[in-house]
């Protein structure tokens, strides 16, 4: 019994110490980016939050082929489709609707930035990408949408 207790008690404390993400966090869902050219789905990824592109206004190039990540710094990823691309990741929850210590990937130039995001009072999502310190960055306001407009 003593051996069993020594296994169960540490496991219970570990579970209590690692909070599960609430699937109903207001940051989770579908978001139309500020330029209105893409929809990003933000969802839990383990104990973090991440996001991927689920709709593009123009999913295909001039030849009718799906657009790919041509600017990716890793040459092995340059043939990956933009649709389905993981562009947000590693966000740690600060409080309900507020996330920090994440990253955002910009497929237009292949750059990755530190990022944070927070749901605003009006129901929009402010996403801020920056280098090192949040002061040196740029914010976008994303709008919630109910569907991915048919996907990519």
User: Per residue in 135-150, pLDDT tens?
Assistant: 889 999 999 999 999 8
Residue 24 scores a pLDDT above 70 = yes
Is residue 145 helix, strand or coil?
A: strand
Dist. CA 88–CA 125, nearest whole Å: 13
pTM reported for the whole predicted model: 0.84
Q: What CATH class has 21-145?
A: mainly beta
Considering the chain, what is the average pLDDT of its residues? 88
User: In this predicted structure, what is the pLDDT of residue 133?
Assistant: 85
Phi, psi of 5 (to 5 degrees): -60, -35
Cβ-contact 133, 18 below 8 angstroms: no
- The average pLDDT across 36-52 equals 97
At 84-131, the pLDDT tens digits run 999 999 999 999 999 999 999 999 999 999 999 999 999 999 999 999
The reported pLDDT for the residue numbered 4 is 35
Q: How many CA atoms lie within 13 A of 99 on its CB side?
A: 34
Domain boundaries, the chain: 21-145
pLDDT digits (tens, 9 = 90+) for 56-65: 999 999 999 9
- Whole-number pLDDT of residue 131: 95
């Amino acid at each position: 019994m003593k051996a069993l207790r020594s296994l169960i008690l540490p496991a219970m404390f570990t579970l209590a110490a690692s909070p599960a993400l609430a699937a109903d966090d207001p940051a989770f869902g579908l978001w139309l980016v500020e330029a209105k050219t893409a929809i990003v789905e933000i969802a839990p990824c383990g104990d973090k939050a991440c996001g991927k592109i689920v709709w593009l206004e123009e999913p295909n190039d001039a030849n009718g082929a799906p657009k790919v990540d041509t600017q990716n710094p890793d040459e092995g990823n340059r043939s990956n489709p933009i649709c389905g691309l993981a562009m947000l990741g590693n966000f740690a929850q600060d409080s309900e609707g507020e996330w920090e210590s994440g990253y955002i990937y910009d497929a237009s130039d292949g750059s990755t930035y530190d990022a944070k995001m927070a749901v605003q009072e009006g129901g929009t999502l402010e996403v801020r990408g920056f280098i090192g310190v949040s002061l040196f960055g740029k914010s976008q306001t994303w709008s919630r949408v109910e569907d991915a407009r048919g996907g990519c």
